[in-house]
Structures are given as C-alpha cells and as structure tokens.
Amino acid sequence: MPVTTAPYEILLEFINDTPDVLQLTAASGGGALVERGQDVVLVLTAGLTYRYTVKQLSQPRKAQFSVRAWDDIQCRATSVFAGTGGAAASAVTVTGRS
C-alpha cells in the first residue's frame, strides 16, 4: 500500500492556563505574549522538532520544551512548568525549567 511522503501541517495549540502573562519564544526566532486565558495556535510541519521557551513575566520562571508531532496537539503552560507534557506528553518534551 503506498504511503504519502509529502510534508503536511499540524496545529500546536499552546494554552496559557496560568494567572500570568507568558512570553512564548521559538528557538528559530519570533515569539508572542500570551495573556492569561488565551491560547496561541502555531502551524508546524508534521514530524519535525520545534523548540520553544516559555517565560512568566511576573516571576523569574521559565521552561524550555520541544515538540514533535504528527497530529494536532494541545500543550498547556501548567504542564510545561510542571515538567510534563500533560495530555500531549508523547509529543512534548520539557527540556529545562528554572
């Protein structure tokens, strides 16, 4: 049975479920401020690894995480700060926290 090898896009929904404003920055450059209760949807190429840093602006707290997925996923900020990927644990790896 033939298998497609063409790249396709997936969506990463980053959800700010903290009471603070967060700064989400991609390792490749660019970023966004995410207000509490808001989410940001990023379009990624399936199967590639993307690295991000998320930082709380009201506290000196930050975490780095990477994402590699083949389907649309959600990633909650509290899961990243806790050191887990939460429901997306198979696709999200937390690589550092401070």
In the chain, what are the domains? 9-97 (2.60.40)
Token pair of 39, please? 């989410």
Asked whether residue 88 carries a pLDDT value surpassing 90, the answer given is no
The model's pLDDT over 4-50, given as tens digits with 9 standing for 90+, comes to 677 889 999 999 999 999 999 999 888 999 999 999 999 999 999 99
Distance from C-alpha of 89 to C-alpha of 29, rounded to nearest angstrom: 24
Distance from C-alpha of 38 to C-alpha of 17, rounded to nearest angstrom: 8
The model's pLDDT over 39-83, given as tens digits with 9 standing for 90+, comes to 999 999 999 999 999 999 998 888 999 999 888 999 999 999 888
Q: Decide which of 96 and 71 is more confident.
A: 71
- In 3D space, the residue among 48, 59, 9, 58 whose CA is nearest the CA of residue 26 turns out to be 48
- In 3D space, the residue among 82, 86, 68 whose CA is nearest the CA of residue 12 turns out to be 68
pLDDT score at 60: 84
| Number of H-type helices and E-type strands within the chain | 1, 8
pLDDT score at 91: 65
Asked whether residue 86 carries a pLDDT value surpassing 70, the answer given is no
